[in-house]
Amino acid sequence: MFKFFFNYLVVVVVIFALSCSNRNNRPVIKFSGDSSSIIIKNIDEASLLQVKNTYNAGGDTLNLISVSIKPGESDSLQDELELAGKVKILGDSLIFNPDQPFVKGKDYLVQSYIGVKFATIGNLITSSAKHNLQPQKQTLRR
């Protein structure tokens, strides 16, 4: 009886630990208040340190964030055009300022690998881990 109870207790503790450690703490991607830039907030400390090290080393900061214009239904051009811009770090946030201002009424696809994990313990247990990293994607409408 104690063996059954102990096994049951271990399973409950493991499930509880996995559910608590697998919280949705992904970075938040949104427009600034005046829609002139894109801000990535809620970056965990380890990822923020990696971003700062890459930025300070003069590395290719374009790999931190990718912003593309999504084609509209009536657009004859069906390719996503990547926007050029500058990236800077302000406190615990990453800010993308485009070279050309955002156009009102357009959709922008933002992709970032900041804070993306290859696999969590829950993914490994359920065999749902992917073979490669998937970027966090967010579509923003100006």
Cβ atoms 117, 27 nearer than 8 A:
no
**Which pLDDT tens digit goes with each residue over 34-87?**
889 999 998 888 888 888 888 887 755 556 788 988 887 766 666 778 888 998
So what's the architecture of 25-141 in CATH?
Sandwich (2.60)
CA 13 to CA 129: how far, in whole Å? 22
Q: Determine the pLDDT at residue 137.
A: 86
Residues 127-131: what's their mean pLDDT? 65
Instruction: Write down the domain spans for the chain.
Output: 25-141
Looking at residue 47, what is its pLDDT?
85
* CA-only gyration radius of the chain, Å: 20
Handedness of CA 44, 47, 53, 56 (dihedral sign): negative
Residue 48 corresponds to which tokens in the numbers above?
Answer: 């923020």
Residue with the two structure tokens 């990822």: 47
The overall longest dimension of the chain from CA atoms, in Å, is 70
The overall average pLDDT reported for the chain is: 76
